[in-house]
Amino acid sequence: MLKTFQVAPLGSELDDDIQHKIDFKTKPPGALGGLECIAFQVARIQRTLVPKLEKAQMLVFAADHGAVDKGISAFPQEVTPQMVANFLAGGAAVSVFCKQHNVPLKVVDVGVKVDMPDHPLLSKRKVAYASQDFSEQAALSLEQVNQALQAGADEVDACGEMDLLLFGEMGIGNTGVSSCMMSAITGTKPEETAGRGTGLDDAGVSKKAQIIATSLKRAEQELNKPVGEWAPWEVATQVGGLEILAMSGAMLRSAELGKPFVVDGFICTVALLFASKLQQAVVDYAIFAHQSDEQAHKALLQHFDATPILKLDLRLGEGSGAILSYPIIKSAVTFFNEMASFESAGVSNAS
């Protein structure tokens, strides 16, 4: 049995008051566009007319994947620990953006293939030294799946009193794993979920789709049921990735605690897709940062009826889109709290 979470659906008791506060700022109705939607959501999640975003935390979950040996990535597996070291040294994109916006960064090792040296910014919660090659066997045991979910939840708890969590990931091959998870959950064909990832050419994308198709067929035979009909624990054990599942656990725990969180790109959205199969209400706590350049991400956002904050053709991962959206989220809360109303400013409202 999978670890359980209890996520409360958002209440509507303050909805009218929140919307009234937005509508009576010194602006035409709707003039701040998406900022108004973000402000409404944060106020609704925090159940207050004076929401705050004073403390934020970026968590980047890292793991390796056995299927990389089959060629689902343009980069070799040793890049995962090399990039983790780059995060810790402050040289990665997410590192410099977090520094720019004064958001602390923590890297969480849940499945990197090697042992990383101790570092103040590294949290060691290793479940396994990479997942198994899912084209040949189940990727993970049920115990490992639960450990990954728990690792994500525990990391959120370790953050303390945060107002906002931002999530990212690092793991060579994890766009392929995410594509496979999306196909397993939604029944979407691998050729529609497999993208370029770290820079595959057309032949590489085709090969990735073939490996995903082979993996799904193997699992279908083992489970004796077609994709789209698997239970969440079957998806997770057969084709899951440790860092993706840890993000799912972190999202579920954030929502359980009543905290909003920021969803990065394709891989992070797949983590939310899995989390939503455990607790549908988790989606209400998610702020969608951007639409990435991975081909399946647009369809996945449409699945959630989500309007992302940014569209910059990013496909880096790491939480880079999440941290880039952060100042916009802060601006939404700032206008909601500090912008004058027509009454307080002595400005005539529209008739």
Active site residues: 318
**Contact present, 149 and 252 (Cβ < 8 Å):** yes
Phi and psi, residue 275, nearest 5°: -60, -35
Beta-strand relationship, 105-111 and 164-170: unpaired
Give the Cα separation of 129 and 109 in Å (integer). 10
Place of tokens 């925090």: 46
Q: What share of the chain is helix, strand, coil (3-state, %, to 5)?
A: 50, 10, 40
Contact (CB, 8 A) for 62 and 108: yes
- Whole-angstrom Cα distance, residue 102 to residue 280? 32
Cα distance between residue 266 and residue 12, in whole Å: 30
DSSP character string of 172-187: TTHHHHHHHHHHHHH-
The torsion angles phi and psi of 286, rounded to 5 degrees, stand at: -95, 130
Residue partners of 118: CB distance under 8 A and separation at least 6: 124
* Spatial distance between the Cα atoms of 45 and 256, rounded to a whole number of angstroms: 11
Which 3 state secondary structure label does DSSP give 247? Answer: helix
With 0-12 CB in 10 A as exposed, 13-18 as middle and 19+ as buried, what is 232? middle
> Closest by alpha carbon to 272, among 151, 158, 181, 140?
181
How far apart CA 255 and CA 40 sit, in angstroms, is: 17
Secondary structure (3-state) at 350: coil
DSSP character for 241? -
